Every structure is written in structure tokens, then in C-alpha cells.
């Protein structure tokens, strides 16, 4: 297990975060550098380095992350739409080695993203 993982430190309450949702499988918190009026990171409590590292055993937790994203989108007033992003590895913009989903909304989101 990675002891220097920033998100693991947030899960373990070693670093404070503005928590939007938490249960036994995942944690969701507001990004400290938001790219939209609503920018929440949704992370599994199980450490999975990247999307490339998911396994059949992770099926339930990955589905759960999507259910939590939909629930949060509703609670955060994103009725007009939102975007879910999963970056895989550094070249795609993943900066923390812990699988995470970005929930973005609250403004028009253009395409392509970058």
C-alpha cells in the first residue's frame, strides 16, 4: 500500500478536506483547485493506482462510484448537466496515483477538454 498517497491521507483524515459524501466504499470531496463551479473528486477507499489497474473484483466499487456521482450531481444542483472524468496516468493528467473520478458542472463545459 502507498503511504505517500495524498488521497489515502484524506481517507485516513490525516489531511482535511471538504467532504461531500462518504460511505464504507468511497469518499467524495471538493477539489481544492476547482475547474468548474462544482468540482468534486470521488475516490474508492480501496487503493487502485490507475484505471488500468482495475480488476474484476473492483466491479462493484466502480459501479458504486457512478451511483454516488449521480446522487451528488442531483444534490449539488447539476440538473442542466455534468461531466465525469477519469484520467489514467500522467500523460492523461492523472496527478495522484489513486483512481479518482472528477464530477464537474455548474457551467457550460466545452469539447474537446484539452
pLDDT tens digit string along 96-114?
Answer: 999 999 999 999 999 988 6
DSSP letter at 20? E
User: Which residues are known catalytic residues?
Assistant: 100
Tell me the CA distances in angstroms from 18 to 24, 31, 43, 92, one per residue in order.
17, 8, 14, 25
Question: pTM to 2 decimals?
Answer: 0.94
The CATH number given to 6-105 is: 3.30.428.10
Residue ranges of the domains in the chain? Answer: 6-105
Tell me the CA distances in angstroms from 38 to 63, 77, 103, one per residue in order.
22, 9, 7
Q: Which residue has the cell 454516488?
A: 68
pLDDT tens digit string along 28-38?
Answer: 999 999 999 99
H and E: helices and strands count for the chain: 2, 5
Cβ burial of 28 (10 Å; 0-12, 13-18, 19+) is: buried
Q: How far apart are CA 107 and CA 77, in angstroms?
A: 11
The answer, yes or no, to whether residue 1 has pLDDT greater than 60, is no
Amino acid at each position: 500500500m502507498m503511504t505517500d498517497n495524498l488521497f489515502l491521507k484524506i481517507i485516513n483524515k490525516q489531511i482535511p478536506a471538504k467532504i461531500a459524501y462518504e460511505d464504507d466504499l468511497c469518499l467524495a470531496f471538493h477539489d481544492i483547485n476547482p475547474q468548474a463551479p462544482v468540482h468534486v473528486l470521488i475516490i474508492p477507499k480501496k487503493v487502485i493506482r490507475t484505471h488500468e489497474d482495475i480488476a474484476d473484483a473492483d466491479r462493484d466499487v466502480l459501479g458504486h462510484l457512478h451511483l454516488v456521482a449521480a446522487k451528488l450531481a442531483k444534490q449539488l444542483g447539476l440538473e442542466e448537466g455534468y461531466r465525469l472524468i477519469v484520467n489514467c496516468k500522467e500523460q492523461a493528467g492523472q496527478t495522484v496515483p489513486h483512481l479518482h473520478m472528477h464530477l464537474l458542472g455548474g457551467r457550460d463545459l466545452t469539447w474537446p477538454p484539452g
